[in-house]
Structure 1
Amino acid sequence: MTNILLTGSSRGIGAAIVTALDLPDVTLAKQATRGGNGTIAADFADPAAPQALWDTAVAQLGTIDVLVNNAGVFEASPLDGDEWVAQWERTMRVNLTASAELCRLAVLHWQARGRPGRIVNVASRAAYRGDSPAHWHYAASKAGMVAMTKTIARGYAGAGILAFAVCPGFTMTGMAEDYLASRGGDKLLADIPLGRVAAPEEVATTVKFLALEAPPSMTGAVVDVNGASYVR
């Protein structure tokens, strides 16, 4: 049995990951900001939330074998806005710091038990390509996730602790639909050689592979799911 802690499970990519991991040999602890529907409530804007979530998940599962960091916010912050710094700090707290705290707790958990483990961080194409002028903070937070993933992979592979990142481009969630419509959907789609945005299920399939099946030599890999809209 593989015990997995998934954050951001309530909609979009997270909901698709829940479906992909609905397997007989997987037990899933799911985080959502408000809780409900069998999820653990944890608002990552609260600095105490990652530790509380981890403790609750360990109490539920006994041990955690895989951590999937998917929770995040994508909120516009115009450069001349009065709340720019506050928005920067909120995005970093939710997208990067909370993920970092959970990664730290996972590594310590596995080290204390002498066990292997896996981390899958859902980052973004924006980590490499950047984002709109109103989303400096989002791009920076996702670049931080990628750098953190690589650092964990290099630091702990010898103990069997593996780390991977997934970098989706636009994904057809409610959030992406609203953004596409507000930015002129046809123009944005023209920038994707595949001709469409990714489906959440495509990202979820990638997360499932990395969480359960990817060979150890892939540790440190960053997998793009963006329809060739950014290649590197």
Structure 2
Amino acid sequence: MTNILLTGSSRGIGAAIAATLDRPGIALVGHGTRSGIPADFADPAAPRALWDAALDRLGGTLDVLINNAGVFDANPIERTDAEWVAEWERTMRINLTASAELCRLAVLHWQARGVGGRIVNIASRAAYRGDSPAHWHYAASKAGMVAMTKSIARGYARDGILAFAVCPGFTMTGMAEDYLSSRGGDALLADIPLGRVAAPEEVADVARFLALEAPASMTGAVLDVNGASYVR
């Protein structure tokens, strides 16, 4: 049995990942406001509480951590100093710091047990290409997630602890639909050579492969799912 903790499992990419992992031999614990274990990552105590609750449900062992939870809220520079900094810090805590805390707990868990494990972090194309003028914080949080993933891969490969990241571009979730319409829709699609945004199931298939099947020598890999809108 492979025990998996998936954050942000209630909707969009997270729900698609949960669906593709709904198969024999997998015990999945999800996190989210609509399903799974509730935890507000804006609260510094939430990651540890989620971790402990997930371990309790999974009988004390975890094999795979998938960090998918995140926010994408605009933060225009015209806001007051206090408003802008508050939104920056909220986004960093939810998108990056909470994921880092869970990664740390996972690494310590596997080291204590003397076994390997896998981390899959859902980052973003924005980590490499940047994002809109109102989303500095989002891009920075996802770039941090990529750097963290590579650091974990390099630091703990000898322990059998593998780390991967996925960098989607626009994905047809409710959040992406709203953003596409607010940014001109067709004009934004013109920047994607494939001619469409990704389906959540496409990102989920990559996450499932990394969580269950990717060879160990792939550790540290960052896989793009963006319709060739950003290539590197």
TM-score, normalising length from structure 2? 0.98
* Equivalent residue, structure 1, for 2:46: 49
Output one character per residue of 1:77-119: Cα deviation in whole Å (capped at 9) or x when no partner.
0011121100000000000000000000000000000011000
Q: How does 1:162-177 map to 2 (within 5 A)?
A: 162-177=162-177
Q: Which amino acid aligns with 1:30?
A: G
Match of 2:73 in 1: 75
Which 4+ stretches in 1 moved above 4 angstroms? none
Instruction: Give the alignment's Cα RMSD to 1 decimal.
Output: 0.6
1:4-23 aligned at under 5 Å gives the runs 4-23=4-23
What residue is the counterpart of 1:197 in the other structure? Answer: 197
For residues 144-163 of structure 1, the aligned pairs below 5 Å read 144-163=144-163
Amino acid corresponding to residue 161 of structure 1 in structure 2 = I
Partner of 1:206: 206
How many Å separate the matches in 2 of 1:137 and 1:155?
26
Runs of 5+ unmatched residues, structure 1: none
Output the amino acid matched with 1:48.
A
Secondary structure at the residue paired with 1:4?
Answer: strand
Q: Which amino acid aligns with 2:160?
A: G
Cα deviation for residue 65 of structure 1 reads 0.1
Query: Secondary structure, in 3 states, of the residue corresponding to 1:45?
Result: coil
Aligned length: 229
CA distance in 2, matches of 1:215, 1:94: 30
Q: Which residue of 1 aligns with 2:86?
A: 86
Q: Per-residue CA shift, 1:209-230, capped at 9, x if unaligned?
A: 0000000000000000000000
User: Is 1:30 the counterpart of 2:30 in the alignment?
Assistant: yes
Paired position in structure 2 for 1:183: 183
**What is the correspondence of 1:215-226 to structure 2 with a 5 Å cutoff?**
215-226=215-226
CA distance in 2: counterparts of 1:188 and 1:67, whole angstroms: 33
CA distance, structure 2, for counterparts of residue 87 and residue 195 of structure 1: 33
Residues of 1 paired with 2:79 and 2:118: CA distance?
A: 39
Give the share of equivalent positions with the same residue, in percent. Answer: 80
**Structure 1 letter corresponding to 2:108:** L
> How far apart are 1:200 and its partner, in Å?
0.1
Secondary structure of 1:40's counterpart equals: coil
Give the Cα–Cα distance (whole angstroms) in 1 for the partners of residues 209 and 111 of structure 2. Answer: 24
Q: Which residue pairs with 1:66 in the alignment? A: 64
SS at match of 2:31: strand
Distance 1:144 1:106 in 2: 18
**Displacement after TM superposition at 1:166 (Å):** 0.1
Q: Give the superposition deviation at 1:175.
A: 0.3
Instruction: Kindly state the Cα deviation for residue 73 of structure 1 after the two structures are TM-superposed.
Output: 0.1
Q: Name the SS of the counterpart of 2:48 in structure 1.
A: helix
Q: What one-letter code is carried by the residue in structure 2 that aligns with 1:77? A: N
After superposition, what is the alpha-carbon deviation per residue over 1:22-47, rounded to whole angstroms, capped at 9, x for unaligned?
01010001001x3x54x101000000
Kindly provide the amino acid, as one letter, of the partner of residue 50 in structure 2. Answer: L
Q: TM-score, normalised by structure 1?
A: 0.98
SS at 2:171 equivalent: coil
